[in-house]
Amino acid sequence: MKPRKYGPFDYSPIIHRKKLSWPKGERVALWIIPNIEYFSLEEKIPANPNGKVPDVPTWSARDYGNRIGVFRFMDVFDRYGIRATVALNSDVCLHHPVIIEEGNKRNWEWMGHNKTNTRRLPDLPEGEEPKVIKETLDVIERVSGKRPKGWLGSGLQETWNTLDCLANEGVEYVCDWTNDDQPYPMTLDDGKKLLSVPYSHDINDIPVFEHHHRTADEFREMICRQFDTLYAEGAQSGRVMAICLHPYLTAKPYRIGALDQALAYICAHKDVWLATGTEIADCYRAQMDK
């Protein structure tokens, strides 16, 4: 994508769009995105750039998520019949394959999320980005058995070339652009198409807990209030609600109950579609292509 002042899409005020319908007339498509990530003990962790290597406290907090937290997520999601769409560092496939095995048992969807969370795309040496994206997708496909159709950049970061690299590798949707409550099409310079599927800066446990220091009960209340608004608006045209999670944060013993309560609240409503990223993208594209 060439540098530009606005994105590779038209400005589209929601009041001027045609009605968006979900498969059974649901008001809200709910998708849950656990970010399952790998951090090398031999490198600085972006959350603590001034830390010394090895940064044992920062690294250990995150490793807890892959040893304990992700399996708590599985128990909670199973209770509500939720298929997660995982933003996955491909190095997790190599170092913690049991997570992939257990996710596959639940038919989870896997999205590309860089090789590791210690290196972001804009920080790569010149010319490395296409190789890293290809390797990320190749490894996830080899270990999980399915090639990812979606992508979330580590730190939601892109370069001017990221979307082109993703499209060239067959990626169909991206989640880095958190500027809408509905999917929308992207058209790249060469005419290739991608979809943006809504993700969230706000209903996201990193800013909630690490930046704004909210409590678990406050996060539960945020989730429920977000849902209430989207559910009301969804009576006129379908909305997407993303809940963005990290197992080292929300799956802590003193927080997991709040997530459970929020999901119980949402799932008690009718006309809620428990969807994956690809299901949302496919449903939107089927209507857009008519």
Are 66 and 36 contacting, i.e. CB atoms less than 8 angstroms apart? yes
At residue 151, what is the residue type? W
Give me the pLDDT at residue 38, please: 97
For 114-135, what is each residue's pLDDT tens digit? 999 998 999 999 999 999 999 9
Alpha carbon separation from 256 to 32, 69, 86, 217, 246 (Å, rounded): 14, 9, 18, 10, 11
Q: What percent of the chain has pLDDT over 90?
A: 97
- Contact yes or no for 222/208 (Cβ under 8 A): yes
pLDDT one-digit tens code per residue, 83-117: 999 999 999 999 999 999 999 999 999 999 999 99
Please tell me the distance from the alpha carbon of residue 172 to that of residue 168, in angstroms, as a whole number: 10
CA 248 to CA 117: how far, in whole Å?
14
State in words which class domain 20-288 has: alpha beta
Question: Is the whole-model pTM more than 0.85?
Answer: yes
Peptide bond just before 54 cis, omega within 30 deg:
yes
pLDDT in tens, 193-233: 999 999 999 999 999 999 999 999 999 999 999 999 999 99
pLDDT value, residue 290: 63
Q: To the nearest whole number, what is the mean pLDDT of the chain?
A: 97
Q: Mind spelling out the 3-state secondary structure of the chain? A: CCCCCCCCCCCCCHHHCCCCCCCCCCCEEEEEEEEECCCCCCCCCCCCCCCCCCCHHHHHHHHHHHHHHHHHHHHHHHHHCCCCEEEECHHHHHHCHHHHHHHHHCCCEEEECCCCCCCCHHHCCCCCHHHHHHHHHHHHHHHHCCCCCEECCHHHCCCCCHHHHHHHCCCCEECCCCCCCCCEEEECCCCCEEEECCCCCCCEHHHHHHHCCCCHHHHHHHHHHHHHHHHHHCCCCCEEEEEEECCCCCCCCCCHHHHHHHHHHHHCCCCEEECCHHHHHHHHHHHHCC
What does the pLDDT read at residue 63?
98
Domain boundaries of the chain, sorted by first residue:
20-288
User: Does 289 score more than 90 pLDDT?
Assistant: no
Mean predicted confidence (pLDDT) in 53-57: 96
The upper half-sphere exposure of residue 101, i.e. CA atoms within 13 Å in the direction of its Cβ, equals 5
Name the token pair of 96: 């913690």
Q: For residues 140 and 88, is the Cβ–Cβ distance under 8 A?
A: yes
Task: Mark 59-69 as b/e (b = at least 16 C-beta within 10 Å).
Answer: bebbbbbbeeb
